[in-house]
Structure 1
Amino acid sequence: MIESPGHASDVLDHLGPETRIIVPLANGEPTAVLDAIEDAVADDHAADGDRFTGLRVHQMHAIHDRPYIGAAFGDRMRHISYFLSHITRPHFRAGNVGLVPAHFSEVYEMMHHRSEDPLVVASASPPDRHGYFSLGVSADYVASFIGRARFFLEVTDAMPRTFGRNQIHSSQIAGWCQTDRPLLDIPPVAADDTDRRIAAFVAERIPDGATIQTGIGGIPNAIMESLRDHQNLGVHTELLSDGVVALIESGVVNGVRKRLNRTKTVGTFALGTKRLHDFLHENTAIELHAVRYVNDPRIIAQEKNFVSINATLSVDFLGQCASETIRGRYYSSSGGQNDFARGAMYSDGGQGFVVLHSTTSDGATKIVPQLSAGDVVTTPKNTVDKVVTEFGVAELRGATVRERTTRLIAIAHPDHRADLTAQANAMHYV
């Protein structure tokens, strides 16, 4: 028998000084529950109390701005991020948010290491007749805490019931509440002509029957549109987006050639619009698994012809890809880029594509002799395979420094090639 839902404020019974709170990323965040926690901390702060002190909230990619993220309550409640978003980025630069650099596949282990007795607060779908809640659009790092941590759930009818490894039984939770909040819609980024030129170079190199991973943004969306004439593709990806829906509905993605989770589309979280959420609801062809499985390079490598597609911000002559910093300032974090690049490298017939526009919005080249001071290498030179701009594909795996430099200059914007060649000569790379 499933007990009736309580109130969001019931979560306060499970908090004490120094509690580590684990929150799923994006729409997995339980907004009413965190509202209740913030309200209580604010009252305690105003009264100079000591009930709520040293709280730490661990989360990747927050999409809701909150007072505590800006350190409104001082050290009583702080945010620890594992991937900066448009919400947390300015607060990190102001010194109010901690950032833990980490491969996405290893985030659960890092959170677990930093939290002796964590409380997981998460959004969920309503319980089914067997007493199981679904974590809906999330499995990410939170699914790995099932059976290993206390859970307090916020149920909303808007959350799709999904399958895979993100179910939790009513006997395994400390409490739950119910709200009528909607999920935030994240519309697809419209692809432009440059995105489509890059997509064409990638799509023509993807064989029928391949298993693919791609992210979110204009270029990934253009690539998925370019795959509509392919056959028997599989999907094993951290992010499920609206672009995947059309490929599944058209029959392009069916997973029949996959070695693992055959016939299933596998992801670890979903981010998109109501169309995506409706498609996911009670769809047994989709499975959400914990990120330490989905992003494990050793798992990815077991798929034949695995294709990894990731965006970067700049690439130097050696092929080092800086995907998380801009001019030495942190913009995001590592995410799963290196996880999938390494997995594709070890896959039989695998390919790893790193995609980017050749220039920034103000015309500066993104193919550079050396990365800017302070830039962080996300995909190292020894792992990078193919770099793609709107001017072509530079194949770097197994290439010499001279070959790498020459091939990268060839896909740089024509306006910058002469200067890049002069700098390559000065560095004795060509």
Structure 2
Amino acid sequence: YLHGEFGDRMRHVAYFLSPITRECFASGCVDLVPSNFSEVPLLMRELERPLVVASVSPPDRHGYVSLGTNCDYASSLIGHADFFVEANQQMPRTFGRGQIHLSQVAGWCEADYPLVAPAPVEPSAIDHRIGGLVAERIPHGATIQTGIGGMPNAVLAALGDHRNLGVHTELLSDGLIDLVENGVVTGVDKVVNRTKIVGTFALGTRRLYDFLHENAAVELWPVRYVNNPRVIGQEPGFVSINATLEVDLLGQCASESLGSRMWSGSGGQADFARGAMYSPGGQGFIVAHATAHGGQVSRIVSQLTPGAAVTTIKNTVDKVVTEYGVAELRGRTIAERAAAMIAIAHPEHRQRLYDDAVALNFVRPGSAIGERGGD
């Protein structure tokens, strides 16, 4: 049905594009609702007669099933929508706010098949460089949010010497397991959900799913709670780490589209960036390789590509990190922002960016721009 086989009788509406739905959207067979992940449950509640079809854990001895790896928006619809669930023998039973009693569901069936288990992405040398720059700025006892992929894995790998970190994150991934088992993540300094690892969904290998199964130290909560900037902001020293596709000299981040071509969605990036901004002593990192396509295309641009969707606005962005350094933007003037961004661009692109900055009246002619990268 993703390819429009049923016409308007059954049409897929996405809140985030995956590799599967991306091409279907481009061909006009799928619709996309721009939204922050935290507000999706509220949008879904407004639908006419919503029905939730979800994969869950097998029932426990009390008749409760768990939403397992996917608490996110489904848990917020418990009591507000009819549920039909598939009890998969291989779905972990997780704690938190994702339990539903079989007496509450409209129907259920049993299944036994492996969960989607993408192999961890091996970080590149550039990923490790960026990960190290971020990790050295994270203090002991901080609470972190990160995602999945090469750069997030590199950040987590660089945190091995830290102590008493906490986790409050949208996505739980394999990279967290070693930090827990090595005593890096304890959560003892957290203010909200002290000692608990909090997330809203999980994606990883079977090792991750086995780690989550009946693990009382891990709690999956609804996304309207986990991604709520007001909740995040209650945690002192909160650190958010998110990737972008393109960022301009003012700090505007286009993280969901390549020009006018929609690539994914807003997800939780803006939620966590705002939460880190509200947190006392919080930090928000936006990470990106300085270039793409073998160095020919700069990810730092004077102006975003026409048609690009701004995911995180300039006033929210705190620090931008490439392999060439860290640009600290919060509280800086437009001229200082432009200079800081040019300094972390690839050296071959800096002169062009500087010339553009002068033409845009962001910096004055003759202004000094760092030659060795960011701070």
Distance in 1, matches of 2:107 and 2:34, equals 32
Q: TM-score, normalised by structure 2?
A: 0.96
Deviations 1:333-386 (A, max 9, x none): 100000000000010000000000000124211110000110011010000000
Distance in 2, matches of 1:219 and 1:361, equals 17
Distance in 2, matches of 1:149 and 1:426, equals 55
* 1:101 pairs with one of 34, 47, 52: 34
Count the aligned residue pairs.
Answer: 362
Q: Residue 73 of structure 2 aligns to a residue in which SS?
A: coil
Identify the residue that residue 203 of structure 2 maps to in structure 1: 271
Structure 1 residue runs without a partner (length 5+): 1-67
Aligned partners of 2:45 and 2:80 also within 8 Å? no
- For 2:107, give the aligned amino acid: G
Identify the residue that residue 134 of structure 1 maps to in structure 2: 66
Q: Residue 2 of structure 2 aligns to a residue in which SS?
A: helix
Identify the residue that residue 204 of structure 1 maps to in structure 2: 136
User: Is residue 2:243 matched to residue 1:311?
Assistant: yes
Identify the residue that residue 35 of structure 1 maps to in structure 2: none
User: Is residue 2:346 matched to residue 1:423?
Assistant: no
Larger proportion of helix = 1
Identify the residue that residue 72 of structure 1 maps to in structure 2: 5
Distance in 2, matches of 1:180 and 1:368, equals 49
Q: After TM superposition, list the pairs within 5 Å mapping 1:27-426 onto structure 2.
A: 68-113=1-46, 115-363=47-295, 364-426=297-359
Q: Residue 161 of structure 1 aligns to a residue in which SS?
A: coil
Distance in 2, matches of 1:148 and 1:425, equals 55
For residue 428 of structure 1, report the CA deviation from its aligned partner. Answer: 1.6
Distance in 1, matches of 2:188 and 2:48, equals 42
Distance in 1, matches of 2:321 and 2:121, equals 19
State the identity %. 64
Deviations 1:45-71 (A, max 9, x none): xxxxxxxxxxxxxxxxxxxxxxx0111
- For 1:366, give the aligned amino acid: R
Distance in 2, matches of 1:411 and 1:328, equals 25
Aligned partners of 2:259 and 2:309 also within 8 Å? no
Aligned partners of 2:227 and 2:268 also within 8 Å? yes
Distance in 2, matches of 1:252 and 1:362, equals 36
For residue 75 of structure 1, report the CA deviation from its aligned partner. Answer: 1.6
For residue 116 of structure 1, report the CA deviation from its aligned partner. Answer: 2.7
Distance in 2, matches of 1:333 and 1:184, equals 21
Distance in 2, matches of 1:341 and 1:219, equals 17
- For 2:302, give the aligned amino acid: P
Distance in 1, matches of 2:51 and 2:353, equals 52
Q: Residue 69 of structure 1 aligns to a residue in which SS?
A: coil
- For 1:128, give the aligned amino acid: D
Q: How large is the RMSD of aligned CA atoms in angstroms? A: 0.7
My pick for the range that moved more, 413-422 or 219-228, is 413-422
Aligned partners of 2:54 and 2:85 also within 8 Å? yes
Distance in 2, matches of 1:374 and 1:157, equals 45
Runs of at least 4 residues off by over 2 Å = none
Structure 2 residue runs without a partner (length 5+): 364-375
- For 1:101, give the aligned amino acid: P
